[in-house]
């Protein structure tokens, strides 16, 4: 079942179309990375899912329930972590969670148990007597996740949750989001590709208002239009000869030499056979031949160019 379904969504600001026929399905229990350049419309999309912004057209369903601008009914399925969560600085974490739980009508015994459990999971139990005003950005982000998970939402939406954090803070947040996948579905917007590679099982790239690339991370890698190899020789001369080889160029390949190794990028349809045939015909025996996994960065750049 899909926790989130977006169908033909459009949104313009003035005469500037930001979202232009967006379709997106987020399956249950995925950690789904919504990628896009600055200004691609990731936050705009999330605000429409939360009913905070009115789409010009199109539909959004959360757990089968229509999300409507200005109405909060579909939001009971959603936990939301904004990029910079705001807190009352004078409060302590348990007080803050109690306030949030009371606002949404949680039962007092359930609220207490859930708050304690989430503070432990977020690594904030030791800090439970400190005021939030003295928390680091990473601690605030972890408290934000605890708060967003309080009501056991089916969908946790996080808007660039790691962008302001140092590597340790990032690792903590990614660990928490990854652990949350057992109990919820995580939709995470980001332009940090290494974060996506670390925790997401599905990704979508938003560009010019639409999804231009979408799927499971492994499938997307296989779908790249270039097939890369690294060929290493015992000497620089053979590497130079391969890099300059006319047959590679006429097959639409790119070759780049570094010392005695050559990186060859072949069009996907020609496959590695072309390279193997060439090495055998010229009797250029490599000491090492490896296939390169396309990086998410190269796939992302290919999708948005
Ligand atoms: N309320 C608004 N009024 C006018 N233009 C807006 C408004 N909100 C967003 N925009 C414009 O819509 C476009 C998409 O913005 P949005 O914040 O959704 O992008 P984003 O993908 O989240 O970017 P970033 O990664 O930089 O946060 C931008 O050009 C932005 O200037």
Ligand 1 atom showing the smallest separation from residue 83 Cα: 27
Q: Which two tokens stand for residue 275?
A: 């390279």
Q: Which residues pair with 255 in a beta bridge?
A: 264
| Burial class (CB within 10 angstroms; exposed 0-12, middle 13-18, buried 19+) of 277 | exposed
Q: What is the pLDDT of residues 6-44, one digit of tens each?
A: 999 999 999 999 999 999 999 998 999 999 988 999 999
Determine the residue of 20, 44, 163 to mutate for testing ligand 1's pocket, defined as the one with the most ligand atoms within 8 A of the Cβ atom: 44
Sheet with strand 288-292: strands edge to edge: 254-258, 261-267, 226-232, 288-292
Same domain, 12 and 119: yes
Residue owning the nearest CA to atom 10 of ligand 1: 13
Q: Ligand 1 centroid vs 39 CA: distance in angstroms? A: 5
> In which domain, by residue range, is 115 found?
2-221
What is the number of structural domains in the chain? 2
Query: Rounded to two decimals, what is the model's pTM?
Result: 0.81
Q: Which of 196, 221, 246 is the C-terminal boundary of a domain? A: 221
Same domain, 100 and 211: yes
Residue 36 near ligand 1, beta carbon < 6 Å: yes
Q: Which two tokens stand for residue 158?
A: 């996080």
Would you say the ipTM is above 0.85? yes
Q: Which of 173, 205, 221 is the C-terminal boundary of a domain? A: 221
* Residue corresponding to tokens 């972890």: 142
Q: What is the pLDDT of residues 55-80, one digit of tens each?
A: 999 999 999 999 999 888 888 899 99
Same domain, 130 and 277: no
């Amino acid at each position: 079942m899909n926790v989130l379904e977006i169908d033909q969504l459009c949104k313009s600001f003035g005469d500037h179309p930001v979202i232009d026929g967006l379709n997106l399905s987020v399956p249950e229990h995925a950690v789904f990375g919504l990628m896009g350049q600055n200004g691609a419309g990731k936050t705009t999309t999330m605000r429409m899912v939360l009913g905070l912004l009115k789409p010009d057209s199109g539909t959004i369903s959360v757990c089968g329930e229509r999300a409507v601008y200005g109405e909060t009914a579909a939001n009971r399925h959603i936990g939301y972590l904004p990029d910079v969560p705001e807190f009352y600085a004078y409060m302590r974490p348990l007080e803050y969670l109690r306030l949030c739980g009371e606002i949404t009508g949680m039962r007092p015994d359930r609220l207490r148990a859930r708050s304690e459990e989430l503070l432990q999971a977020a690594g904030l139990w030791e800090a439970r007597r400190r005021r939030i005003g003295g928390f680091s950005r990473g601690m605030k982000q972890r408290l934000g996740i605890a708060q967003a998970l309080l009501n056991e939402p089916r969908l946790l939406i996080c808007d660039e949750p790691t962008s302001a954090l140092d590597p340790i803070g990032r690792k903590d947040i990614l660990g928490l989001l990854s652990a949350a996948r057992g109990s919820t579905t995580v939709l995470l917007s980001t332009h940090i590709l290494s974060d996506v590679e670390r925790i997401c099982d599905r990704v979508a790239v938003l560009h010019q208002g639409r999804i231009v690339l979408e799927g499971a991370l492994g499938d997307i890698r296989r779908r790249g239009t270039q097939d890369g190899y690294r060929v290493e020789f015992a000497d620089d001369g053979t590497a130079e000869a391969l890099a300059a080889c006319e047959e590679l160029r006429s097959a639409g390949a790119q070759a780049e030499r570094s010392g005695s190794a050559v990186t060859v990028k072949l069009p996907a349809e020609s496959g590695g056979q072309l390279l193997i045939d060439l090495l055998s015909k010229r009797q250029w025996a490599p000491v090492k031949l490896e296939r390169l996994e396309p990086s998410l960065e190269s796939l992302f750049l290919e999708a948005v160019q």
